[in-house]
Amino acid sequence: MSGKKNSLTVADVAREAKVSKATAARVLGEYGIASEGARKAVLEAAERLGYQPNDLARSMSTGRSGLVGVIVGDIENAFFSQAVRGISDTLRAAGLNLIISNSSEQLSEEIEMVSVLLRQRVAGLIVAPTDARHVDHLKAALAAGTPVVTLDRHAPQLGADAVCGEDRQSVGRVLRRLQEEGHRHVAYVTAMKTRDGKLGRLEEIGISAVRERISGFLTQMREAGVEDPADLVFVGATGDDETTAVVTRILKRSPTITAILASDSLICARVFRELSDRGLTLPQDMTLVSWFDADWSRVTTPRISVVDQPTYQFGQKAAERLIARLKGDASPPRVYVIPTPLLERGTIGPAKTE
Amino acid sequence: MSGKKNSLTVADVAREAKVSKATAARVLGEYGIASEGARKAVLEAAERLGYQPNDLARSMSTGRSGLVGVIVGDIENAFFSQAVRGISDTLRAAGLNLIISNSSEQLSEEIEMVSVLLRQRVAGLIVAPTDARHVDHLKAALAAGTPVVTLDRHAPQLGADAVCGEDRQSVGRVLRRLQEEGHRHVAYVTAMKTRDGKLGRLEEIGISAVRERISGFLTQMREAGVEDPADLVFVGATGDDETTAVVTRILKRSPTITAILASDSLICARVFRELSDRGLTLPQDMTLVSWFDADWSRVTTPRISVVDQPTYQFGQKAAERLIARLKGDASPPRVYVIPTPLLERGTIGPAKTE
DNA sequence: TTGTACGCGTTATCAG
DNA sequence: CTGATAACGCGTACAA
């Protein structure tokens, strides 16, 4: 209807340069051999006519496309947009482009997006899988010869490279540090939703990073002698109101609970605001630690202590792995763990003793 | 080399369904007519075999691709990532996907990216042009039949739809409000770089939104009787150190300067932190207003007053316009202005009188 | 070194 | 309604 692309083809250039289509294709496609004379003639003709190669047709011929599909949970979240930047920069340096998609952390959308991307015949896929237990669509991609790298999450059954943070270790590290300060009852707040609003079985947590962290949380808390640590995991902090409700529930259990762990920067922002609104002073009245070093972590008073997840690097590494696979690396899939150190700033204080 | 995609074709499905390739293509491509019987046979065969259409080949045949190219200044910036989300959601609802690119606000990269996207034969382009004076590459795309919509910025010579905020008006609105509070000397801080670190001629500012805002700033300040308002525009706040330096220069002119306007949320964060570090209290010691309502604007004490740029809507509108053009809308190009109201929170106070 | 001719997977035309 | 068959633009054996 609308697309009346009058784009020129190699044939047009060939005619103008008075050589065969094949010769023109060879110099324009930078493959095969051509005499210096033919070469110049073609290049000049192309320049004169303003020829633009058609990568669509090229991909169809060669079977490979210069496009990589990226599926993240939410591009609006700085965690992912930073990772995408890392991916983008690395990919571009290798002459690849990226198609980006949002799964909204919903399996159905992720499946749909994988299908769309596969139809576009992307060269590879970088995905933050929403549910490590349902990766058949990714496995199918892999089987069909499209390399896959998972970002921030790991799906063991998938058999793909994965780039992750130190989810399990970091939570242990943070808790031990807090325990040094005398904290025993620490709340973990996550956006994850469950049917009944209670933490269910760990195996039912689809996002591996979330599962690892909660699992590590429970282990470390038990080790420290807390009898029922599952009671300290608060789920469903998905929006402003929900987070407010969670904070209310936490404060009802104050002064037993003396510290809060926010599983991402959005949650942390809401918790922080809620605490301030209620007149609490940090870290005297409450200790707060978050995952991800958001750009605002150092503009609050006090500054937020965070587990630094360098997601730009996550993205970089994931792209590097994908490129390696694209180049034929057939080594067994590996998990690449990016260090996520605790950046201690102003929101960690001694536990408030009664 | 690596791409051994063994994907099935319509021919395979046709064989399995015992019909001709043409018939299979018709039902799979959902065009033309086919009998109910043939239809079922083909669909079942496709299901059984696990056929996945090849959108590359489809695009090559039809001439149109379901891909839209998006070029932003920096995907890491929440301003743009939010806009991208709006674009993505709207596009997807229309069955389109997006290829995203970063220009890093550099003309050369923008030109390169446009070229790459055009080679991919994208259906259309949504661009935040880095330099309104150099848009020949975009004009060429337009001329070749690829619709273009500019995001957040306007390039009059281009002749494309544009979606912008009320840059000029919002700065006037903010200044009048501050003037009510007795502020006369207001500093405007921007990341824009100039050769000599001084504000040059307005026509030399490439990013239209920046130009409009500074132009409005100068006008409104002059109207209020400030003799040399160009001295109040501080450029080059590109990073942490640079912004620190700017704040130092501003404070040297305190108490003459009683208020600061930050042209984006990154700058605002740095300015805010710098002011706090120096022990200043807002809004008593300084008034601060920023553009863009970042997610952290309400976690500081006091909360930041901002000019709210709903960039998700920017993106939505831009995508809508592009879709309309794709559908054949040939009306003259228009500028769509999205309201950007001042959200007054805690950082506006009366001017500190000596 | 250059040119011919065919294939990639679709869509689309045009007889049957 | 259906089935050959020709595009689409480019890569590439194979032959000249």
Chain segment A151-173, per-residue pLDDT in tens:
999 999 999 999 999 999 999 99
Pairing relationship of beta strands B257-262 and A161-165 according to DSSP bridges? unpaired
Side chain identity at residue A145, one-letter code: G
- Chain B residues touching A326 at Cβ < 8 A: 2
Collapsed DSSP state (helix, strand, coil) of residue A342: strand
Tens digits of residue pLDDT in A279-313: 999 999 999 999 999 999 999 999 999 999 999 99
Does the beta-carbon distance from B85 to A65 stay under 8 Å?
A: no
Distance of CA A155 to the CA centre of its chain: 14
B225 and B118: one domain? no
Task: Say whether B88 and A75 touch across the interface (CB within 8 A).
Answer: yes
CA atoms of A18 and A41, how far apart (whole Å):
8
What does the pLDDT average to over B297-316? 97
- The first and second tokens of residue A50, run together, are 């303003």
Judge if B299 and B187 occupy the same domain.
yes
Same domain, B198 and B304: yes
B254 CB contact with strand C at below 7 Å? no
Question: Residues B161, B173: one domain?
Answer: no
Same domain, B246 and B318: no
pLDDT at A5: 56
Q: Which residue has the tokens 């509070």?
A: B181
Could you tell me which of B162, B157, B166, B167 has the C-alpha nearest to residue B132? Answer: B157
Please list, in sequence order, all residues whose beta carbon lies within 8 angstroms of the beta carbon of residue A141, skipping any fewer than 6 positions away: A114, A118, A125, A148
Asked if residue B288 and residue B204 are part of one domain, the reply reads yes
| Amino acid (one-letter) located at A139 | K
Does B351 fall in a domain? Answer: no
A83 in any annotated domain: yes
- Mutation for testing the A interface, residue in B299, B300, B303 having most A CBs under 10 Å: B299
Count CA within 13 A, CB hemisphere, residue A235.
Answer: 18
pLDDT at res. B7:
83
> Across the interface, which of B88, B301, B328 has its CB nearest the CB of A2?
B328
CA B69 to C1' C12, whole Å:
28
CB spacing of B88 vs A102 below 8 angstroms: yes
The percent of residues in chain B predicted with pLDDT above 70, rounded, is 98
pLDDT in tens, A224-260: 999 999 999 999 999 999 999 999 999 999 789 999 9
Q: Give A192's contacts (C-beta < 8 A, 6+ positions apart).
A: A205, A207, A210, A235, A236
A169-193 per-position pLDDT tens digit? 999 999 999 999 999 999 999 999 9
Q: What is the pLDDT of residues A305-351, one digit of tens each?
A: 999 999 999 999 999 999 999 999 999 999 999 999 999 999 999 99
Asked if residue B349 has pLDDT above 50, the reply is yes
Residue B187 CA to residue B221 CA, distance in Å, equals 10
Distance, in Å, from the CA atom of B33 to the CA atom of B27, rounded to the nearest integer, reads: 8
Q: To the nearest whole number, what is the mean pLDDT of chain B?
A: 95
- How far CA B55 is from CA of A54, B23, B61, B127, B137, in Å, comes to 15, 18, 10, 24, 27
Q: Do A2 and B327 touch (CB under 8 A)?
A: yes
Contact between A100 and B101 using a beta-carbon 8 Å cutoff: no
In this structure, the number of other CB atoms found within 10 A of the CB of residue A52 comes to 16
The phi-psi region of residue B309 (left if phi > 0; otherwise alpha if psi is between -120 and 50; otherwise beta) is: beta
Nearest C-alpha neighbor of A51 from the set A4, A104, A84, A6: A6
Count Cβ–Cβ pairs < 8 Å, chain A vs chain B.
Answer: 177
Q: Is pTM, for the whole model, over 0.85?
A: yes
Model confidence at A94: pLDDT above 60 = yes
Q: How far is B70 from chain A (nearest CA, A)?
A: 10
Categorise residue A145: left if φ over 0, alpha if ψ from -120 to 50, beta otherwise: left
Domain assignment present for residue B100? The answer is yes
Residues of A in contact with B57 (CB under 8 A): 60
CA at A53, C1' at D7: how many angstroms apart? 19
Tens of pLDDT, residues A16-72: 999 999 999 999 998 888 999 999 999 999 999 999 999 999 999 998 899 999 999
pLDDT of A2 reads 35
Domain of A50, in residue numbers:
2-59
Higher-confidence residue of B3 and B119: namely B119
A345, part of any domain: no
Does B47 reside within a domain?
A: yes
Identity of the residue in A59, A63, A272 whose CB atom sits nearest the CB atom of B299: A272
The DSSP secondary structure of A64-127, one letter per residue, reads --SEEEEEES-TTSHHHHHHHHHHHHHHHHTT-EEEEEE-TT-HHHHHHHHHHHHHTT-SEEEE
Q: Pairing between strand A342-343 and A305-307?
A: antiparallel
Q: Give the nucleotide nearest to B21 (CA→C1').
A: D3
Q: Do both A128 and A220 map to the same domain?
A: no
Find the mean pLDDT for residues A204-225: 97
pLDDT of residue B63: 86
Under an 8 A CB cutoff, do B65 and A56 touch?
yes
Mean pLDDT in chain A? Answer: 95
Alpha carbons A191 and A68: distance in angstroms, whole number: 29
Q: Is the pLDDT of residue A1 over 50?
A: no
A120/B55 Cβ within 8 A: yes
Nearest residue by alpha-carbon distance to C1' of C13: B22
How many residues are listed for chain A in this entry?
Answer: 354
What lies within 8 Å, CB to CB, of B156 at 6+ separation is B132
Cα(A172)–Cα(A213) distance, integer angstroms? 9
Question: Looking at the domain assignment, is residue A347 inside a domain?
Answer: no
Q: How confident is the model at residue B4 (pLDDT cuts 50, 70, 90)?
A: very low
Whether A101 and A154 share a structural domain? yes
Of A2, A5, A325, Cβ closest to residue B326: A2
Domain assignment present for residue B9? The answer is yes
- What span, in angstroms and rounded, lies between the C-alpha atoms of B228 and B226? 6
For residue B129, whether the previous peptide bond is cis, meaning omega lies within 30 degrees of 0, is no
Total of domains in chain A: 3
Q: Residue A145 is nearest to which of B3, B88, B98, comparing CB atoms?
A: B3
Smallest CA-to-CA distance from A89 within A298, A263, A317, A293 is with A317
- Do B73 and B49 share a structural domain? no
Q: Three-class SS of residue A337?
A: strand
CATH of the domain at A34: 1.10.260.40
- Which residue has tokens 């990568």? A55
The better pLDDT of the pair B63, A212 is held by A212
Which residues make Cβ contacts (< 8 Å) with residue B326, sequence separation at least 6? A2, B123, B124, B147
pLDDT digit string, tens, across residues B187-205: 999 999 998 989 989 999 9
Give the pLDDT score at B249: 97
Reading the block at residue B224, the tokens are 């209020």
B41 contacts B17 by C-beta, under 8 angstroms:
yes
Three-state DSSP at A23 gives helix
Give residue A89's pLDDT band: very low, low, confident or very high (50, 70, 90): very high
Contact residues on chain B for A3, CB-CB shorter than 8 A: 62-64, 123, 145
Q: Which of A63, A97, A117 sits opposite B5 (nearest CB)?
A: A63
3-state secondary structure of B121: coil
What's the CA gap between A296 and B77, in Å, rounded?
A: 13
User: What's the average model confidence in pLDDT over B147-170?
Assistant: 98
Mean pLDDT over residues B73-94, rounded?
A: 97
The pLDDT of residue A352: 78
In this prediction, residue B209 has a pLDDT band, given cuts at 50, 70 and 90, of very high
Q: pLDDT at position A354, please?
A: 57
Q: DSSP strand E in A274-339: where?
A: 287-291, 305-307, 335-338
The CATH number assigned to the domain holding B180 equals 3.40.50.2300
Inter-residue contact A266 to B298 (CB < 8 Å)? no
Assigned domain for A45 exists: yes
Within 8 A of A2 by CB-CB distance, chain B residues are: 64, 145, 325-328
- The answer to whether residues A302 and A321 belong to one domain is no
A90 and A131 both lie in a single domain = yes
User: Does B32 contact strand C, using a CB cutoff of 7 Å?
Assistant: yes
For residue A3, the model assigns a pLDDT of: 40
Strand C proximal residues, B:61-80, Cβ < 7 Å: 61-62
Q: Which of A61, A76, A136 to mutate to test the interface with B (most CBs of B within 10 A)?
A: A76
**DSSP-derived secondary structure for B221-286:** HHHTT-S-GGGGEE----SHHHHHHHHHHHHHTTTTEEEEEESSHHHHHHHHHHHHHTT--TTTT-
Residues B136 and B243 in one domain: no
